[in-house]
Copies of this chain bind each other. A is one copy, B any other.
């Protein structure tokens, strides 16, 4: 596996791959890789001739009181994982090369970024969209792979790619979970032993909600209430939002719709966790 730090070397490599008519797959990450990331990498390696993974802890998507400085990372372990998954190149840009002195340009995606995580984390999606555009312009992939755990982020990236006329196919992959049901996240490493049990209430609440829908419940108000009760039954967990909404524009729904996104965000101690699932109206009534 080639390790590339300079932006111009990455561009050169991309030119080389593209001009030899190979398909270039790309998996952007912030490192601290887990099985969720690896499912993206494996999908890219399987589908593309050449796979680039990037590790870049993007300061532009962290708020002032967020965990930029303590975000977990183990570069050596990440390298081994990528190497053994047959990744062709690891792109490791520096902060200074990505955001040099005098950096001024940002991407904003309107409306959909004012809801869910965008409401709780102002500036977050601006930072995400900006760094993803920059990475896309440097790596120039044919296909880029993202996980559905960050459902809203995926939608923001898809919207930007469409609006800015980029020729990149965005590939969505399902959430990968621990055997316990906990959605894979680098931030799970923050959880103390006592915090694991409250953290599990997220996936339990989603399973309960799916079950309620399957049994005919269509009122999102009722389902929201039951999710809230289930989560608040745990100690040391604070709800940020419980949303049952349109999976494309994140407008809250009063009834389970053709497809509805159930999205949860909580804080367990100092750790922010999110999880989601899709439910379908057909399952609740027809």
Contact = CB atoms under 8 A, between A and B. Distances in A.
A160 interface: yes
Interface string A83-125: 0000000000000000000011111111110000000000000
Interface of A: 7, 11, 103-112, 129, 133-134, 137-138, 159-160, 163-167
B106 A108 contact: yes
B104 A107 contact: no
Copies of this protein chain in the complex: 2
8 contacts: A104-B110, A104-B111, A105-B159, A105-B163, A105-B164, A134-B164, A134-B165, A137-B165
A140 to B, nearest CB: 9
A166 B140 CA distance: 10
A155 to B, nearest CB: 10
B105 A105 contact: no
A136 B65 CA distance: 37
Contacts of A111: 104
B104 A159 contact: yes
A103 B162 CA distance: 9
Contacts of A105: 107-110, 129, 159-160, 163-164
A121 B279 CA distance: 46
Contacts of A164: 105, 133-134, 137
Contacts of A104: 109-112, 159, 163
A107 to B, nearest CB: 6
A11 B166 CA distance: 10
Nearest to A93: B165
Given A105-B109, A105-B159, A107-B107, 18 more contacts: A11-B165, A103-B163, A104-B109, A104-B112, A104-B163, A105-B107, A105-B108, A105-B129, A105-B160, A105-B164, A106-B107, A106-B108, A106-B109, A107-B108, A108-B108, A134-B165, A137-B165, A137-B166
A41 B160 CA distance: 30
Contacts of A107: 105-108
A214 B197 CA distance: 77
Nearest 9 Cβ contacts at the A-B interface: A105-B163, A137-B165, A104-B110, A105-B160, A105-B109, A138-B165, A104-B109, A106-B108, A134-B165
A138 B165 CA distance: 6
Contacts of A166: 137
Most buried by B among A105, A108, A134: A105
